[in-house]
Amino acid sequence: MSRKYFGTDGIRGLVGVSPIVPDFALKLGWAAGKVLAATGNASVVIGKDTRLSGYMLEAALQSGLCAAGVNVRLLGPMPTPAVAHLTRAFHASAGIVISASHNPYYDNGIKFFGANGKKLLDDIELQIEDWLDKPMSIDNFDELGKTLRQEDARGRYIEFCKASFPYHLDLKGLKIVVDCAHGATYQVAPAVFRELGAEVVAVCCEPDGMNINADCGSTHPQNLQAAVLINKADLGIAFDGDGDRIIMVDHTGSVVDGDEIIVMIARARQQEGINVGGVVGTVMSNMGMEVAIKNMGLEFVRAKVGDRYVMSALAKRGWMLGGEASGHIVCLDKTSTGDAIIAALQVLAAVVQSQQSLQELRQGMAKFPQQLINVKIAQKSDPMQHEVVVAAVKEAEAVLGERGRVLLRASGTEPVIRVMVEGENQQQITRICQSLADQVQKALG
């Protein structure tokens, strides 16, 4: 069934424009509460990032939940994966995150975790949508919910993160720059690394409600690169606004993306004698990642872009490791969802255990050159429905052979076709990508 409100990652939009308005958040809290209350004595934890609008949406959500008879724990500013963990830790019926991830401050969103700390099941979302279309009412004044502010939420999550790091190792002697994007990790992440012994240089840890993700964090690694070089640090770690994405920088200032991070974690697991089974990437994962994973003797599969699809592919195969080049890394042997701090700790454990630098560890993956062109189109359409485009793709694939690939993908958020070509020769793939983009433009533009 098609959804009216929920997208692939909750409900998101521009603050002040429906559905990111107080009256909708109130109704959403009530509708979710009605669905959860049907299962018995329901409780929900709510966390948020540092956006100014988070206060408004938090108040509306908690009011709606209480009206439906659900008890609420307010966690305050917390990373998205922290909410997933604390949902399980408190045996809550669900967790709610108020965040628009790596988007600017004027956007916001609301997403849900189930009691297992994973994304809410589709049928539950559909039930919530069904209640959203019903008139809001309070059936029993004696069964209204209560709200509690969970003062120790931050400390609980810090200890959980530290527990994912080998107990016999520490980070003493490492100087790390941590860029928190003025977002949800600004208090937690520096504390985790410091308590494990690292010398931490914290940057972009002064949120004002409007500077989240502004020219910093995982989407703007230039800030981290400069800080690593200025401070002569061993490495740098950048998070996005809600703390589920990570990008790293080695001591030379070079960016280490999600594909490389996954390869390093997979190799470390293998050296520890842990059978990960295989690794899930996405259709946008670099071919060098696929080659590196297969060279380890592991299986590799590609999912559609989006953590929901990566999680689904992992669950289907019973595997534990996957993610995206953008830095959304899932380590299911450590936690239930993508967690940037825990992913960082797995890489740092490999650095300490191997006594190698991040730059040396990343050598295990040789990136293939990639060329990406966004082609604007008049309206959403499938380019592979046009014979001229299909013929051009087949011709390109024949030229590239087994050491290259072509991907045409419609954007999920804007009228754009993403044309991506990957191969071993930069000049060749640039030429092929431009030719394909021209064919798409003629067919759909």
Q: Write down the pLDDT at residue 118.
A: 93
Give the fold, CATH level 3, of 370-444: TATA-Binding Protein (3.30.310)
Helix axes 22-37, 122-132, angle to 10 degrees: 120
Backbone angles phi, psi at 329, to 5 degrees: -115, 130
Distance CA 424, CA 400 (A): 9
The boundaries of every CATH 3.30.310.50 domain in the chain are 370-444
Give the fold, CATH level 3, of 11-151: Alpha-D-Glucose-1,6-Bisphosphate; Chain A, domain 3 (3.40.120)
Structural contact between residues 384 and 393, judged by C-beta atoms closer than 8 angstroms: yes
Confidence of residue 411 (pLDDT cuts 50, 70, 90): confident
Confidence of residue 413 (pLDDT cuts 50, 70, 90): low
Determine the residue type at 370: Q
pLDDT in tens, 94-127: 999 999 999 999 999 999 999 999 998 889 999 9
Please identify every residue annotated as catalytic.
101
Of residues 149, 119, 143, the one with CA closest to residue 40: 143
The boundaries of every CATH 3.40.120.10 domain in the chain are 11-151, 162-255, 257-341+351-364
Distance CA 401, CA 423 (A): 9
Q: Out of 3.30.300.30, 3.40.50.1980, 3.30.1490.70, 3.40.120.10, which CATH number does the structure's domain 162-255 have?
A: 3.40.120.10
Confidence of residue 224 (pLDDT cuts 50, 70, 90): very high
Q: Look at domain 257-341+351-364 and name its CATH class.
A: alpha beta
Distance CA 438, CA 435 (A): 5
pLDDT in tens, 228-247: 999 999 999 999 999 999 99
Q: Write down the pLDDT at residue 385.
A: 85
